[in-house]
Amino acid sequence: MHNRRTFLKNAALAAAAAPFIQPEEILNPVPRHIGVQLWSVREDMNKDPKGTIEAIAKMGYREVEPFGFDGGKLFGMSYDDFSKLLKDNGMSMPSTHSMMTSKAYDESKKDITDDTKKIIDNAAKYGVNYLIAPYMADDDRKKIGTMVDMFNAAGKYAKKAGVRLGYHNHDFEYTQKASDGRKIIEWLLHETNPGDLAMQMDIYWVAFAQYNALDWFKLYPGRWELCHAKDLANSEKRESIEVGDGVIDFKSIFQKSAQAGLKHFVVELEHYKTTPLEGIKKARTNLLKVV
């Protein structure tokens, strides 16, 4: 009887998920969280968010990572409507990008501003697990001490709200130094509390800065809970291209996922050989071969 109940329960779950499952996934189930950063298809999202999300779901994606989660709307839609659109397509947004600057920190109170707290509270309300700062402006790189204070304070507030604060790198964190000679990435890794700030490694930008992701996994194990996966072209411009079409050895990198602490793999594209939608579809197919 127990086995029969289990079978019926699993059959019901499978039937409910069937509209969103691709044929190849029945034989080869996706082993980890694989999502897509919607910056990759920003023009499509701005023109037709509903049709674009439906197309992404048909590719097999179950997770998306929006950007601009700070003004009450995403792609012209309210948070409620956007969340419903994802749910209707069997998708979720476990992570999102939200710009955070030194102005998010109130020096007099030694705390983040109320507006910043509201952004974090909204992330918790809409089921976001990781609220990620996507960039550090030029002026803020000169205020790295304030930025660290902000990240520490925001990370503590986020943890209480049930959200994990994160930071996403470009190349400058690995090439630019603060006044004490440390790289910006070293400041972030040394001076923030690991329990309050997760790192989202953009593997392309690490390679662009002429570093190997594996070295950073070894130096700072467990810090890299998310990654952006895009390849580096073997060209003069060294532009980003689909995973598997460039020079980065993703298979070796992802063999060390446990050491890195990687839980979420997010496809991103900034340059296109075809169309953005075709690009992220190919990138997902290629990523599944190495993750």
Kindly report the CA angle at 132 between 127 and 138, in degrees rounded to 5?
A: 155
- pLDDT level of residue 71 (50, 70, 90 thresholds): confident
Sign of CA dihedral 279, 170, 214, 153: negative
**pTM assigned to the model:** 0.89
Instruction: Kindly tell me if the per-residue pLDDT of 14 is higher than 60.
Output: no
| Cα gap 181→83, rounded to integer Å | 44
Average pLDDT score over residue span 148-155: 98
Cα→Cα distances 256→64, 150, 184, Å = 24, 31, 24
The single-letter code of the amino acid at 83 is S
Q: Which tokens belong to 160?
A: 């209480």
CA 1 to chain centre: 43
| Cα gap 92→266, rounded to integer Å | 13
Average pLDDT score over residue span 113-129: 98
| Cα gap 53→55, rounded to integer Å | 5
Average pLDDT score over residue span 231-251: 97
Sign of CA dihedral 204, 39, 106, 140: positive
pLDDT score of 23? 52
Average pLDDT, the chain: 92
| Cα gap 104→137, rounded to integer Å | 13
Convert the pLDDT of each residue in 34-44 to its tens digit: 999 999 999 99
Which domains are present in the chain? 32-287 (3.20.20.150)
pLDDT score of 32? 72
Alpha helices in the chain (DSSP H): 2-17, 23-27, 42-47, 49-59, 79-88, 114-125, 138-141, 144-161, 172-175, 184-191, 203-208, 213-219, 250-254, 257-260, 276-287
Which DSSP string corresponds to 19-84? GG--HHHHHS---SEEEEEGGGGHHHHHH-HHHHHHHHHHHT--EEE-S-TTSSEETTEEHHHHHH
In contact, 26 and 55? CB cutoff 8 Å: no
Q: How many residues does the chain have?
A: 291
- pLDDT level of residue 16 (50, 70, 90 thresholds): very low
pLDDT score of 180? 93
